[in-house]
Amino acid sequence: MTNTQLPTVAAGLLDRDAGESLTDQIVRTVAARIEERLLRPGGRMPSIRAFAAAHGVSAFTVVAAYDKLVARGYLESRRGAGFFVRVRPGAPLAATPAAIEPAQQGLDVAWLVRNMFRQLPHQQMPGTGVLPAEWLDGAAVAGALRHVTRRQQDILLNYGVPQGFLPLRQQLQLKLAEVEIAAGPEQIVTTAGVTQALDMVAREFTRPGDTILVDDPAWFLMFASFAALGTRVVGVPRLADGPDLARLEELAALHQPKLYVINSVLHNPTSASLSAAKAFQVLRIAERHGITLVEDDIYCDLHPGPAVQPATRLAALDQLKHVIYLSGFSKTMAANLRVGFIAASPELARRLADRKMLQTLTTSDIGERVVHRILCEGSYRKHAERMRARLDGLRARTVRQLERLGLRIDLAQPAGMFVWADAGRDTNVLAERAMAAGLLLAPGSLFSPNQLPSRCMRLNIAAMQDAAVWRFLERELA
């Protein structure tokens, strides 16, 4: 009975001159016949030797093909009995749905974030927080990845060190020195992006019931991340030049918060920066109330310099005594490398490295080696300049178009990828209508820790240049 299925397996279908290897031809052909039920589930396959003889190929080729078919779930190997066609456990699922998922009960953070991960065309996502892929330097990332993987194949086999790839931390020391923050490699801990850095810091400093201050508005994902830790998230109104200091002092006295998370530079969602005077006062208030400041500087490399916008980092003033500095490369290099970092006092950095070990052991070296390579190759600086110039080229024109539609935008500090636009109406309603038109908007309510309806929304000037976006806005607002 061994060879009953033989004539239907792959006879006459192998082609030595094809671009495809004989092994892959066998795999493809046998798989197709199993899918089409020409080979019946549970049936025994020809022996290696019989198959090889029948098709004039080597036994080695058949072994390799059978192995792949086993790995892909088409065949199973029974010791001593041969190979059998397997009953497959369910059909493969379709790929990630491309459509925007309808919000279940109005909008919420999870809804927005989930939709940001869908594969929508970038031009139709004015609500996104990242630059379109074609703005990034894919060639540099690919080149660095090839370089890194060519050099040492066994770097991947070990765990690496919990604190992160040392040469990257040395390179980050130089980068931090450029913004006047002195931090040795022992003060730096790599993380899987700023998201993980915030999670680690919040877990280090808070217990359930503690309060964390954030700006209002601010980056929405952290509200949910902190709430999941059982902490209370309280917003400090953010004015054009930084937080409302009187309110900050009041909230500090009232809640005795453990942390205050702040973007000093290119604040998300307004793209404005902290004035030097406010930076100084924020540090004094934090010191008075024993609050640790967490400075999220993820948009660092999009900052146009102090001639256009203030550029005072809290960590530059305080030198990482009461300030923890976070940044990363998801926005300006490549999000999927998942490379971010924390800079802190030596003692705190050691504690955070231990904590990282308990949460996730180590982060992968690959991404860290790629970022290291790109940073020390010298092309990144010009890439960042190009991105800034491209944003500058779009900003004034886009703002004029928006103003023509009646939106109000404060452009005293023109920089970054976001504009924070007052639409004069509830932007939750606008976002729901946009969703129906296949466009993703980020309504102001998302950026507030109490999620109240807002007339403002965040627009990404790099991701709204499509005519469909403007048609929608004109129809709704003009």
Which 246-265 residues touch its own copies, going by CB under 8 A? none
Query: Can residue 155 be called a binding residue for its own copies (CB under 8 A)?
Result: yes
Return d(Cα 211, Cα 449) in angstroms, integer.
Answer: 12
Closer to its own copies by Cβ: residue 314 or 337: 337
Query: Can residue 33 be called a binding residue for its own copies (CB under 8 A)?
Result: no
Query: Can residue 477 be called a binding residue for its own copies (CB under 8 A)?
Result: no
8 Å CB contact between 326 and 193? no
What is the smallest separation between the CB atom of 258 and its own copies, expressed in angstroms? Answer: 15
Residues 427-466 that bind its own copies (CB under 8 A): none
Query: Can residue 335 be called a binding residue for its own copies (CB under 8 A)?
Result: yes
Q: Which stretch binds its own copies (CB under 8 A): 109-117, 406-414, 429-437, 461-469?
A: 109-117
Query: Can residue 154 be called a binding residue for its own copies (CB under 8 A)?
Result: yes
Residues 163-202 that bind its own copies (CB under 8 A): 166, 170-171, 173-174, 177, 182, 184-186, 192-193, 195-196, 199
Return d(Cα 227, Cα 233) in angstroms, integer.
Answer: 7
The tokens describing 430, both together, are: 């606008």
Query: Can residue 32 be called a binding residue for its own copies (CB under 8 A)?
Result: no
* Among 11, 18, 38, 110, contact with its own copies (rule: CB under 8 A): 110
Residues 120-139 that bind its own copies (CB under 8 A): 130, 133, 136, 138-139
Neighbours of 358 (CB within 10 A): 10
CA-based max dimension of the chain: 88
The tokens describing 80, both together, are: 């001593």
Return d(Cα 381, Cα 433) in angstroms, integer.
Answer: 40
Query: Can residue 117 be called a binding residue for its own copies (CB under 8 A)?
Result: yes
Return d(Cα 54, Cα 34) in angstroms, integer.
Answer: 19
* Among 32, 239, 357, 394, contact with its own copies (rule: CB under 8 A): 357
Query: Can residue 104 be called a binding residue for its own copies (CB under 8 A)?
Result: no
* Among 40, 49, 146, 404, contact with its own copies (rule: CB under 8 A): 146
Closer to its own copies by Cβ: residue 204 or 216: 204
Closer to its own copies by Cβ: residue 25 or 427: 25
Return d(Cα 115, Cα 101) in angstroms, integer.
Answer: 7
Query: Can residue 245 be called a binding residue for its own copies (CB under 8 A)?
Result: no
Q: Residues binding its own copies: what is the number (CB under 8 A)?
A: 89
Query: Can residue 207 be called a binding residue for its own copies (CB under 8 A)?
Result: yes
Would you tell me the crossing angle of helices 245-255 and 276-289 to the nearest 10 degrees?
A: 10
Return d(Cα 316, Cα 437) in angstroms, integer.
Answer: 45
Q: Which stretch binds its own copies (CB under 8 A): 158-166, 235-243, 400-408, 416-424?
A: 158-166
Q: Which stretch binds its own copies (CB under 8 A): 84-92, 292-300, 434-442, 465-473?
A: 84-92
What separation in angstroms does the CA of 348 have from each of 73, 192, 226, 252, 356?
Answer: 49, 18, 20, 23, 12
8 Å CB contact between 64 and 23? yes
* Among 46, 126, 127, 160, contact with its own copies (rule: CB under 8 A): 160
* Among 221, 323, 409, 456, contact with its own copies (rule: CB under 8 A): 221
What is the smallest separation between the CB atom of 253 and its own copies, expressed in angstroms? Answer: 26
What is the smallest separation between the CB atom of 422 and its own copies, expressed in angstroms? Answer: 29
Return d(Cα 190, Cα 169) in angstroms, integer.
Answer: 8
What is the smallest separation between the CB atom of 408 and its own copies, expressed in angstroms? Answer: 31
Closer to its own copies by Cβ: residue 146 or 408: 146
Query: Can residue 156 be called a binding residue for its own copies (CB under 8 A)?
Result: yes
Closer to its own copies by Cβ: residue 274 or 353: 353
Query: Can residue 60 be called a binding residue for its own copies (CB under 8 A)?
Result: no
* Among 123, 281, 345, 379, contact with its own copies (rule: CB under 8 A): 379
Closer to its own copies by Cβ: residue 139 or 467: 139
What is the smallest separation between the CB atom of 428 and its own copies, expressed in angstroms? Answer: 21
What separation in angstroms does the CA of 165 have from each of 202, 331, 378?
Answer: 23, 21, 19
What single-letter amino acid sits at 285?
A: I
Q: Which stretch binds its own copies (CB under 8 A): 152-160, 387-395, 418-426, 447-455?
A: 152-160
Closer to its own copies by Cβ: residue 272 or 337: 337
Point out which residues pair with 236 in neighbouring strands: 215
β-pairing, 75-78 with 82-85? antiparallel
* Among 240, 358, 389, 396, contact with its own copies (rule: CB under 8 A): 358
Closer to its own copies by Cβ: residue 162 or 243: 162
Return d(Cα 291, Cα 262) in angstroms, integer.
Answer: 12
